[in-house]
Amino acid sequence: MDGTILIVAFTVMLALVFDFINGFHDTANAIATAVSTRALRLRVAILLAAVMNFLGAITFTGVAKTITKDIVDPFHIANGSVVIMAALISAIIWNLLTWYYGIPSSSSHTLIGSIAGAAIASNGFGVLNYKGFLKIIEALLVSPVLAFVVGYFMLQFLKILFRRAKLHETNRNLRKFQIITVALQAFTHGTNDAQKSMGIITMALMTTGYHTGNSIPLWVQISCALAMALGTSTGGWRIIKTVGTQIVKIRPLTGVAADLTSALIIFGATHLGLPVSTTHVIASGIMGVGTAYRPRAVKWNTGRKMLVAWVITLPISAGIGVAVYSMLSTLISLVS
């Protein structure tokens, strides 16, 4: 069998593994609020998130196209297949570490940093598409801040809307409504997060000459959507606990506000073809909502930990990408 085909097959497998891990790593993003308010049982919430993640993943391809061409040019990168393998291995390592310690870090930061690090190790800093890369970084930086602000005003609006309602009845109705908001949030999660693996598989196909256009092959869309959905179905209780209980106590009203906020921001980014961190958008939305409810109720120490993860993930994943690429290229040269 042609060695190139084996390399592509291994790369696709790594990408699907990353997508699977991304699914259980980020399950908390969509269901933490509903589980915390007992609007849904954990298993039901995970199943709902898995189905909606799948539907969202096969509906859009704009973010995948951004990943394919805006970090590095796949047609002008030396050792492209090794670079992509190193990036995926790096991203998987960091995602597993942060999942194990229950840190809601960003799979988006991880993958983008890993791609950049591995590409620089192979081709130098000139390989980066700086215009596209900086556009992605801007989206990653702005989206959590926007989510915090929108979350703050979303709760203020809902408080005015329900100011005359009876508390017990309102909570019961809002728990029912949370089923819809969680489904919406899981759908938007799929529209953005699963796209990243689609983009990197398409990059692998481009660098090896198996794909020449900018479109995302249908089999890539379906396989990534399935991997994300299967990963989501396994759950991710460590991060659910952090997002759902260690930022602010979630109530039905604050849960609905946080869900609507994150769905709005993530879907807006998807519409613009921009990859954002669903983890950081949702966590920031919850902090914004908590601040509007009662600033002292927010566990700012958890927020600081997430901010640290937000800052360090890109450079650390880039560093891991450099190290993994160096090891892979050395190993390949020894074998050959």
In degrees to the nearest 10, what's the CA dihedral of 101, 192, 259, 282? 40
CB-based burial of residue 8 (10 Å sphere; 0-12 exposed, 13-18 middle, 19+ buried)?
buried
Q: How many CB atoms lie within 10 A of CB 79?
A: 19
pLDDT for position 320: 96
- What residue spans define the domains of the chain? 3-331
Q: How many CB atoms lie within 10 A of CB 13?
A: 11
CB-based burial of residue 92 (10 Å sphere; 0-12 exposed, 13-18 middle, 19+ buried)?
buried
Q: How many CB atoms lie within 10 A of CB 103?
A: 18
pLDDT for position 155: 94
Cβ atoms of 194 and 53 within 8 Å: the answer is: yes
pLDDT for position 243: 58
In the structure encoding, which two tokens stand for residue 287, read together? 């902090």
How many Å apart are CA 230 and CA 217, to the nearest integer?
20
pLDDT for position 241: 58
What does the pLDDT profile of the chain (336 residues) look like in tens digits? 466 788 889 999 999 999 998 887 776 677 778 888 888 888 888 889 889 989 999 998 889 989 888 899 887 788 888 999 999 999 999 988 887 776 767 788 899 999 999 999 999 998 999 999 999 999 998 999 999 999 999 999 999 998 888 877 888 899 999 999 999 999 998 899 888 899 999 998 988 888 887 789 999 999 999 998 888 887 655 555 555 556 777 889 999 999 999 999 999 999 999 999 888 898 899 899 999 988 887 888 777 877 887 788 899 999 999 999 999 999 888 876
Cβ atoms of 199 and 68 within 8 Å: the answer is: yes
In the structure encoding, which two tokens stand for residue 234, read together? 């396994």
pLDDT for position 301: 79
How many Å apart are CA 240 and CA 35, to the nearest integer?
8
pLDDT for position 212: 81
